[in-house]
Structure 1
Amino acid sequence: MVTAKESPVTKTIAPRLYSLDALRGFDMFWIMGAEEIVHNIAKISGSPFWTGFATQLTHPAWDGFHMYDCIFPLFLFMAGVATPYSVGRELEKGQPKTAIAFRVLKRCLILILFGLIVNNGIEIKPISEIRFGSVLGRIGTAYLFANLIYLNAGKKWQMVWFWGILVFYWALLKFNSAPGFPAGDLTMEGNFASYIDRLVMPGKLYLDIHDPEGLTSTIPAVSTGLLGIMTGTFIKTDPSSGTSKSIKMAAAGLLFLGLAFLWNFSFPINKNLWSSSFTLHVGGISLLLMAAFYYVIDVLGYRKWSFFFRIIGMNSILIYMSGHFIDWEYSTKAFFTWLMQLAGDPYNLVVFAIAAVFIKWLFLYFMYSKKVFLKV
């Protein structure tokens, strides 16, 4: 697909994207404990504002969208943004594509392994009791295929792949269904993606008849990774000013949100299925956030405020997995029980949630100061 005149990489010296570390940290901040702060404030205050905010930090049962649904795809999007700066740099150094592809495959397999550990712990279980679908597994798999496309397709063909995957997935679910259901059925039991997962996935599914990180719904997630790659390539190689790039990213984000709204009538926005409309919707939000962080941090140069988030973002996989090896509740109580006692009931719930985030951040800061990073 790549001709001699068209290369997936343009040789250029690109500065570090401080905004990418900050946005990754902002993304992880919500699942490392910030959501508990909001939920506890809502529980105590009964305020309509905090109650509404807390609702946004939950997942809808099926169709629909809450902001919490954006955390996972935003992380995958950012993994794509980093590709032109990591994999692209290897290409610029003349590394063979085959060797790079094997390194990408290695990262994929490590993430799948980490996902299995997060789901099942480190213990021997019957295959029937193991859940194979995972957040990290999907990130690794989608990252693998998005990078293979990046390595072998120029910019125009990457765009073709992006839209082609979304249209293919829409058609797959629109004109098929589980046996006994009408074509195009998108209920949890009747949709074709969940049916295929029930047939081919080993072990157990998260919801017995459906897994939100199933195999089939990983197909459109490849487009999420590709969108990140195209965004990263644009930031790295486009000759326009940083301000212009930010405006173009924001405009593209708004366009995606509009297209998602229209596609929603035929293919509802649904994180469980990673529907094509969902892919566009979270892609639009990801572009808007990337534009804002890039403009403020990398274009205007306001970096100091983002240090808190960058500490999280530079060790995001570590903090995601840490809860399975570190008893954060015990650590928080060991240091801050006195503060919870001073706060009294029910405000001790909020104090505990804030203290838990603080303890985790101090741990990440210590790792940062020692230059210890869990990289895949």
Structure 2
Amino acid sequence: MTDIPKQRILSLDTLRGFDMFWIIGGDIFFKTLGKQTSWSWVDSIAKQMDHAAWEGFYAYDLIFPLFMFISGIAIPFAMFGKIEKGGAKKEIYYKIIKRASILILLGLIYNGLLTFQFNTLRAASVLGQVGLAYLIASIIAINFRSFKSIFIWVIGILVFYSILQLAIPIPNYPAGTLTPEGAINGYIDRIFLPGKLYGKVFDPEGLLCIFSASAITLMGTLAGLILRSNSLSPYKKVILYTIIGFSLIVIALLLSSWYPIIKSIWTSTFNLLTGGISFILFALFYLIIDVWKFQKWTFLFRVIGLNSITIYMATCMIDFKATATFVFGGFSTFFGNLQPAILILCMIIVEWVFLYFLYKKNIFIKV
């Protein structure tokens, strides 16, 4: 494939911002609104704003893997051009390792590192998984830059991971036991992860989950390779994304009867399903924003997407809800029973204004 020059992909920033919107309060807003109203459409959305207890899938289960898919799309744009211009891989490796290290540190801070309660500190984290999965995917992508090679790696990771989960027994449990206690994920986490585990006997961001998540990051890299190519027209790219997306979804659903879709241990079927949905979502955003050029509405989400790590960390460091209550508490009383939902909406507005201030000052904190 020949490649187009590196450029800002508005659909990518918008989709990242759309994804983060649900993390910074969109989920709570709809759950709160669902409790306060009898609106069926709101209740339908609200029911999707939780993670599946174990097996199964809700829309909210897509948030994390979609973010990792998006980070994978950026890999060809961020790295391949430098290599093709003769840049030293050593420098790129340094940047990748630095990024992963910073994300691990930020994840520990998010989990309470600064309290210095090391015995009960959770070592695994969302940002740590993002950083390490990105590290694995980037190293693979740098050394195997063709679509075919990376595609083989994706298949290899998914197959190898399924073998680990389905064919390797652990003490007191036969092979293929996919329960919190019996899955190999929890067994590895209990041995090697210090501090507390999120699920007590396992961690959804544990060591094997990180390895599994590198597959969906590489799926994003495949999407990035398609996007970067100028041998395909924009409409052909959309069609290809859609075909790949639906194919992955169908495969995941067909396999799920004997290999369940479980986010908490990132089964390969979970990767296939969320990867398929991510391909389709990106196809939709790319078509509307970058092909059809309907772009004015994207600003709302792009402001969030351009400082995604910043707002993620800020939500654990700044009490946006208290600010919203202080400023809009009186205003919210005019809405009667809807007051709790209105206050959540105002909190999101305060968060957005904070990000808009950074945007206007041209402050983009990236890792």
Q: TM-score, normalised by structure 2?
A: 0.97
Q: Alpha-carbon deviation of 1:233?
A: 0.9
Q: Which amino acid aligns with 1:250?
A: T
Tell me the equivalent position of 1:143. Answer: 134
Gap runs ≥5 in structure 1: 1-8
Quote the residue 1:6 is aligned against. none
- Aligned counterparts of 2:174 and 2:3: Cα–Cα separation in 1: 51
Q: What does residue 235 of structure 1 align with?
A: 227
Which residue number in structure 1 is paired with residue 162 of structure 2? Answer: 170
Match of 2:96 in 1: 104
Letter in 2 for 1:357: I
Q: Give CA deviations for 1:164-217 in whole Å, capped at 9, x if unaligned.
A: 000001011111233111211101101111111111111111121011111112
Partner Cα distance (2:58, 2:114) in 1: 32
Q: Tell me the equivalent position of 2:248.
A: 256
The aligned runs of 1:150-165 (5 Å cut-off) are 150-155=141-146, 156-165=148-157
Distance 1:151 1:281 in 2: 26
| Aligned counterpart in structure 2 of residue 353 of structure 1, from 340, 344, 347 | 344
Aligned-pair CA distance for 1:68:
0.2
Percent sequence identity is: 40
CA shift for structure 1 position 52: 2.8
> Paired residue for 1:222?
214
- Mapped to 2, the partners of 1:25 and 1:85 lie a distance apart of 19
**1:69-80 counterparts in 2 under 5 A?**
69-80=61-72
- 2:311 maps to what in 1? 319
Is residue 2:55 matched to residue 1:63? yes
**Structure 1 residue 73: Cα displacement:** 0.5
Matched residue type, 2:209? S
Q: For residue 259 of structure 2, what is the aligned residue in structure 1?
A: 267
Number of residues of Structure 1 aligned to a counterpart in Structure 2: 366
Runs (4+) of structure 1 exceeding 6 A deviation are none
Give 2:121's aligned residue.
Answer: 130
Distance in 1 (CA, whole Å) between partners of 2:188 and 2:247 is 32
Cα shift at 1:11: 5.0
Q: CA deviation at 1:374?
A: 1.1
Give the equivalent residue in structure 1 for 2:293: 301
Shift of 1:327: 1.1
1:270-308 Cα deviation digits (max 9, x unpaired): 100110000000000100010000011111111111110
- Partners of 2:3 and 2:230 within 8 A in 1: no
Contact 1:79 1:225 in 2 (8 A): yes
SS of 1:347's equivalent? helix
Q: Deviations over 1:337-356 (max 9, x none)?
A: 12112223x21111101101
Q: Quote how far apart the aligned CAs of 1:48 are.
A: 4.0
CA distance in 1, matches of 2:273, 2:3: 32
Unaligned runs of 5+ in 2: none
Alpha-carbon offset, residue 10 of structure 1: 5.1
Aligned to 2:356: 365
Distance 2:46 2:38 in 1: 11
Do 1:83 and 1:229's aligned partners in 2 also have CA atoms closer than 8 Å? yes
> Within 1, Cα distance between the matches of 2:9 and 2:184?
40
Letter in 1 for 2:364: F
The AA in structure 2 aligned to 1:56 is Q
Write the distance in 1 (CA, Å) between the matches of 2:243 and 2:86. 35
Give CA deviations for 1:56-91 in whole Å, capped at 9, x if unaligned. Answer: 110011110001000000000000101111112322
Q: 1:125 aligns to what SS in structure 2?
A: coil
2:23 equivalent to 1:31: yes
TM-score, with normalisation over the residues of structure 1?
0.95
How far apart, in 1, do the equivalents of 2:92 and 2:25 lie? 36
Moved more, 91-100 or 184-193: 91-100
Distance in 1 (alpha carbons) for counterparts of 2:284 and 2:41:
24
Match of 1:4 in 2: none
Give the Cα separation in 2 of the matches to 1:360 and 1:146.
31
Distance (whole Å) between structure 2 residues aligned to residue 92 and residue 163 of structure 1: 26
Query: 1:65 & 1:104 partners in 2: Cα distance?
Result: 32
Aligned-partner Cα distance in 2 for 1:47–1:304: 29
CA distance in 2, matches of 1:335, 1:68: 30
Matched letter for residue 291 of structure 1: A
CA distance in 1, matches of 2:40, 2:172: 43
Distance 1:293 1:132 in 2: 35
Give the Cα separation in 1 of the matches to 2:334 and 2:205.
42
For 1:266 and 1:154, the matched residues in 2 are separated by 34
Tell me which amino acid in the other structure corresponds to 1:137: G
> Which shifted more, 307-316 or 239-248?
239-248
Give the residue type in structure 1 aligned to 2:193.
M
Contact residue 97 and residue 135 of structure 2 kept, 8 A: yes
